[in-house]
């Protein structure tokens, strides 16, 4: 065999080898891509077991993966500018310390109105102790080594999280019976809730917030007339709960929560705006309390066929009740 033929065969062999290696590389890349795609779809199928979708919105695969992590999942923070943010916060701390030192002798008084926009006043340097502490602490912050944090969400999952936060057509909440995440249509959820609340046969429960308020006012006023009823400590208020009784429901009172501070402010301001004094107010409250107790005693654990608000005719009671329900 001549040298020319030998060189041609060698060249052809190299070409075939290069072609085979390129095909092998493409095959390996495609194989890895197919494997990653298969694992991704398997993870999406597993994630569907942890969420319940009752919405017409089409969720993407990355949104499903984010929701499957649960509502307690906290994305890892960005540490790119964490040292700069820490120094800015420390500068604000130093400004407050200098302000406290500047106004500590009470000679630099401020005569402006207390309810105003903060001026951001930056005083002069404080004493040596404070300045040395601020300088040494700032140097220690500059020497800090910030470790890299591995993100627990991918780039696509972070984008999906922003999309879910900006979507106003759905409601995301935890399930009642298990730890799964539920996705609901906002409009349908509000409509069904309002229908359920407005149906007296399916939701025969009435919350009367003013009854305990009037009862506490009456007890406090007639037990110690010299005491100011507005300074009474926290007090629980009364809710009316429903219990089954011969196919219907009857009302029983149960006390929970601390609402005296929120009730007394509204009651006093509302009554004084109507022109009632303290004694006149107490007589009104006493009369409504007795009327409400008569309404409950007349029921005698019988089912309520109509709304109890129709049985209460006093304006003052309705005023207190509506305010407490709004809170």
Full-model pTM: 0.45
Find all residues with CB under 8 Å of 325, minimum gap 6, and list them.
207, 209
- Number of domains present in the structure of the chain: 2
Query: Does residue 320 contact residue 233 with C-beta atoms inside 8 Å?
Result: no
DSSP-assigned letters across all residues of 106-173:
S-S---S-SSS-----------HHHHHHHHHHHHHHHTPPPPP---SS-HHHHHHHHHHHH-TTEEEE
195 within some domain: no
The verdict on residue 9 lying in a domain is no
Give the chain's radius of gyration (CA, Å).
Answer: 36
Residue 101 belongs to what domain range? 82-142
Tell me: the pLDDT tens digits for 206-223?
Answer: 444 444 444 444 444 444
pLDDT tens digit sequence for 4-59 = 555 656 666 676 777 767 777 776 777 777 888 888 889 999 999 999 888 888 89
Residues 122 and 215 in one domain: no
Answer whether 75's CB lies under 8 Å from 153's CB: yes
Q: Is 218 within a domain?
A: yes
Residue 172 lies in a domain: no
Is 80 exceeded by the pLDDT of residue 274?
Answer: no
- The C-alpha atoms of residue 239 and residue 229 are separated, in whole angstroms, by 22
pLDDT score of 160:
92
């Amino acid at each position: 065999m001549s040298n020319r033929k030998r060189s041609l065969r060698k060249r052809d062999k190299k070409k075939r080898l290069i072609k085979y290696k390129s095909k092998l590389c493409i095959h390996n890349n495609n194989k890895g891509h197919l494997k990653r795609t298969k694992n991704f779809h398997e993870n999406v199928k597993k994630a569907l077991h942890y969420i319940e979708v009752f919405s017409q919105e089409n969720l993407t695969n990355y949104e499903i993966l984010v929701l499957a992590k649960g509502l307690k999942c906290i994305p890892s923070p960005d540490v790119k500018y964490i040292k700069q943010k820490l120094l800015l916060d420390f500068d604000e701390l130093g400004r407050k310390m200098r302000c406290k030192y500047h106004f500590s002798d009470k000679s630099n008084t401020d005569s402006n109105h207390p309810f105003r926009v903060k001026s951001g006043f930056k005083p002069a340097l404080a004493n040596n102790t404070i300045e040395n502490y601020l300088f040494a602490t700032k140097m220690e912050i500059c020497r800090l080594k910030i470790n890299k944090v591995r993100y627990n969400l991918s780039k696509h999952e972070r984008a999906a999280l922003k999309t879910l936060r900006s979507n106003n057509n759905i409601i995301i909440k935890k399930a009642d019976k298990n730890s799964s995440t539920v996705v609901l249509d906002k409009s349908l959820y509000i409509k069904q809730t309002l229908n359920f609340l407005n149906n007296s046969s399916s939701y025969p429960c009435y919350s009367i917030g003013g009854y305990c308020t009037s009862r506490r006012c009456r007890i406090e006023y007639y037990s110690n007339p010299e005491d100011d009823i507005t300074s009474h400590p926290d007090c629980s208020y009364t809710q009316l709960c429903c219990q089954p009784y011969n196919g219907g429901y009857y009302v029983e009172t149960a006390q929970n929560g601390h609402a005296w501070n929120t009730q007394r402010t509204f009651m006093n301001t509302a009554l004084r705006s109507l022109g009632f004094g303290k004694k006149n107010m107490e007589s009104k409250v006493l009369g409504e309390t007795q009327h409400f107790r008569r309404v409950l005693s007349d029921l005698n654990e019988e089912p309520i066929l109509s709304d109890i608000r129709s049985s209460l005719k006093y304006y003052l009671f309705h005023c207190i009740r509506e305010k407490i329900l709004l809170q």
